[in-house]
Structure 1
Amino acid sequence: MSIGNSPEDDRPSEDRTPHADDWPSIGRALQQARIDAGLTVDEISQSTRVRIPIVHAIEQDDFSRCGGDVYARGHIRTLARAVGVDPEPLLAQYGDAHGGQPAPTPATPLFEAERIRSEPRRPNWTAAMVAAIVAVIAFVGYTAVNGGDDGGDKQQAAEGATPATSKPAPKPSPSTKKPVDPKPDPSDSAIAAAPPNKVTVKMTAAEGRSWISAKDHNGRILFDGLLEKGQSKTFQDNQKIDLVLGDAGAIQLFVNGKQIDDEFQPGQVERLTYTKGDPEVG
């Protein structure tokens, strides 16, 4: 009886061939590429606008926080490009692990990766009070004018005809001044021409619906929700407009009156910024 390994154990195994399980996972490949590029998670998040918790989750092969297959594929493509890796093998690996074609995404207009929680709107009591005061003043003025006209007619009828040399007092005309209507929101009305001193962005869901987010140069949310197929939204700002398109392939863009000809792929997540000089410098 011999002690130690048998001669059979020393022979090389003929079936030890590379297997798919030996390949690095998607998250591990992205993490290693980021480290090799000398980038931190914060830097990747700033350059791609993918939130830090989402980057950490993807590098741990946790795609549950992406909001669905379409958005997970978009994040993989975005992160791979940021760290200098070809995204197509990673997308193919993701498809093999998750059933090939992207699964239908739920109808919810937001996904966690890009959810921007806005504070609930509170009733504008100041505007309501001003409108009520204007309505009361207009009613009192109208009543006073009509009452004065009736009194003048009755007094003239009682005194008889006035001499020909005297001219009747001019009849006061009712006030035609109306409360100034609030300026319509650019996103709810078509803009005939793009002002040269502002940046104007118009989005139309020509190919299908897509979640979109738009912010002005102060970071204030202009719109955050789902744009149904055939719907349009127009935004304006004095300096710049930041956009996030959940399905860029479904959106047709017009910036400062000119159509953007970028060919976005269906399901592709795009983050765009436009200024007054675009699309020339965009």
Structure 2
Amino acid sequence: MSELGARLKQARLEKGYSLEDLQEITKIQKRYLAAIEEGKFGIMPGTFYVRAFIKQYAEAVGLDADEMLAMYKAEAPEPPLTSEASGMTAPAMRRTSMRRAGKTAEAMPKVILALFIVVAIGIVWFLKANQASNTEPAEEIAETESTVQVQQVGPEENGEGAPTEDGEADKEEPAEKEAEKETEKAEQPEEPEAPKATLAVDRSEGENTFYNLAGTDKATVTLTGKGRSWITVTDNTGKQYFSKSLETGQTETIEAQGVQWLRFRIGYVPGVEIAVNGNPLTYAIPGAERVTQNIIIQIGSVQ
């Protein structure tokens, strides 16, 4: 075990932490924490991770991270670059450059020939395009002159009313149609407005509070966390929507239709806000009086 590993392990034991506890605190795998204590840095993913893990370990057990990193550097210095590797670089680069220059010289005639062919094709295409542009306009003009015809549109074809004896169009017909449309609108019965859903307290029994949701058979319940609280949601059929801890700022939405009631088992009432179909639910029993409560929303109940 290295001096660095011994210092870290001693600080961990003084804190009363096991490797499992330290893994939970730092989110570093236990095998990497054990390797740091034993000085087995070779199993780490890389030098960057070794430094990062040592820094997190030291901060978690209350040691100076910079001091621990300095000890790591002294115990496991980075290997310097060898002169052999640097000496072989220049000749290898020269040989590569010479091979590339030779290949370029061999390919140059082919490139020149390809460019010549492309230029020749471009010239031919340009000449043909000019020839076609000189002949097409005359043909289009001749075709237009032979096909254009002029038609006179009479008053009936133009959609205007036939002239009366006085020479005026009949203007009374549109006014009569507008009057008929207004009469039809007045005769149509107005559709009754749909009843609005209402939520009201029915009764409280111990830690149970019953609410009636009237005017609808569908409930959309939104739960918003204002503090950590365990919540379980079920309905009269025995279906469980979820059972979990709701954290601060977290939101869960329950949608139910065709059930008789929804039951919300709330472990910490001050930590949960409830809205039913967009309307806030007011706790009949304040959270200061009873922290754990059951909220039962009876859907479709008549008040």
Structure ranking higher on relative contact order (CA contacts 8 Å, 6+ apart): 1
Q: Please identify the structure whose Cα radius of gyration is greater.
A: 2
Greater fraction strand: 2
Q: Normalising by the residue count of structure 2, what TM-score does the alignment of the two structures yield?
A: 0.26
TM-score normalised by the chain length of structure 1: 0.28
The answer to which structure has the higher helix fraction is 2
